[in-house]
A and B are shown apart, each in its own frame.
Chain A
């Protein structure tokens, strides 16, 4: 499996470098372009139908909350899985290593949509056949659709981020780990205080890209009846039979979410400056 070169992830996702600076807006041609753009916006909002908007506003707000909840829960859970996945690929015994590698290859080699449906329709339809599951405390959750969405997105994030963490763990200079051991740190302390934070530090720029990619994956859960912002907009489309307006609004919403996410990550990255790279 070719591991994704970090620069590719950057190419795929919007990263902090892509944010325009404030002063860059005030170049003559930019002002012209913005004027044209503003006219376009005015025209669009004038000629298109937006009367449905007030009615759906509360639902949209809720949908955004669901989307963000999906994003954060699956990124965090996925990252927690990614750390061991990356680590065992660097130092683990071979069965674990092989398992992690196979896992990452399979997940990265198949479409997320398919994984999602496999979990929801495939696995989900097996559960009720076992009375033990049906009567267990888990059943109320297994009846819902969001656990499947969370599971699929988490697994996917873990596999992609696991590759990144593998590179990050392997890339921590051996000397720094040796220095830690020379100071009498136990293996766990070395990992907790030096190896892990240093690896995360190295992986942070890539992590930004991966998180944006994860945000871009969340709307897939709408296909299994999770009511995220995409599902709400789908509902608007079906209720109003409008083709463009809801989708344009949706694109705008994701654009804003991405922008905010990237800004937040830039803050985080700036906390530990790196030189050069």
Chain B
């Protein structure tokens, strides 16, 4: 190389321009926002899906089965493209049919929607397994005390299944944080895309990709700390590793 410049130009990571640090950080914040949003949406879908699969009618069960099967058998990347273009389009077509004005779906909302639908299928399976792991006697006892079905669910089934669900749900969170990277292919400014933009503009590919890797890894490691705290709390009632 003719260029005598230092091999690694750390100043590119500085927080204020011309450093790209703040751009990376805002990308990270975008990623985290989508991960949190998508994960929460997925959890909601998952709770509904799990109860639907366990206690719903045969048609609902079959439809949910199709949902989870398709999501689990088709690559996230493809789902993200389909949902990103078709999902929001369909919503607007429905709005049109209902005579409502087309909603303006922001990139953030679309991202959350896409990740949420994918996570929803996974959560459905994780939660369904966890609910099935709750001994049926516990639920029967609740009914014997005169609890209504809603009470049984909120007071007994959901809290009792937590220790069984948390390992799976923790993994889903870690997956959600990493799946946000896939939104780069639809041009959403999350961490991976802004990393590529920064790298493309400055040509410091190695530096920026490593920096993004460190950020993702930090996110994972910090998450792990919280996960182990939550896990310990949730397992209080269990005598031994089940």
Contact = CB atoms under 8 A, between A and B. Distances in A.
Do the two shown chains form a genuine complex with each other?
Answer: yes
Interface of A: 1-2, 4-5, 7-8, 10-14, 18, 27, 29-30, 33, 105-106, 108-115, 117-118, 121-123, 125-126, 129, 212, 215-220, 223, 230, 243-244, 247-248, 250-251, 254-255, 258-259
Tell me what chain B mostly uses at the interface: helix, strand, loop, or mixed: helix
A271 to B, nearest CB: 24
Contacts, number: 155
A105 B166 CA distance: 20
8 contacts: A12-B122, A110-B217, A114-B212, A117-B192, A117-B205, A118-B205, A217-B75, A230-B75
Given A243-B85, A251-B78, A29 B181 contact: no
A255 B172 CA distance: 22
A14 B213 contact: no
Interface stretch (B10-18, B134-142, B153-161, B221-229): B221-229
Contacts of A123: 206
Interface of B: 1, 58-59, 62-63, 69-70, 72-79, 81-82, 85-86, 89, 122, 125-126, 129, 167-168, 170-172, 174-175, 178-182, 184-185, 192, 195-196, 199, 205-206, 209-210, 212-213, 216-217, 219-221, 224, 227-228, 231
A53 B85 CA distance: 21
B199 A8 contact: no
Nearest to B46: A11
Nearest to A222: B77
A43 to B, nearest CB: 15
Tell me what chain A mostly uses at the interface: helix, strand, loop, or mixed: helix
A244 B224 contact: no
A110 B86 contact: no
A254 B206 contact: no
Given A105-B220, A112-B181, A212-B72, 15 more contacts: A2-B171, A5-B171, A7-B126, A10-B129, A11-B122, A11-B168, A13-B72, A14-B73, A109-B174, A110-B178, A122-B205, A122-B206, A215-B75, A216-B75, A230-B77
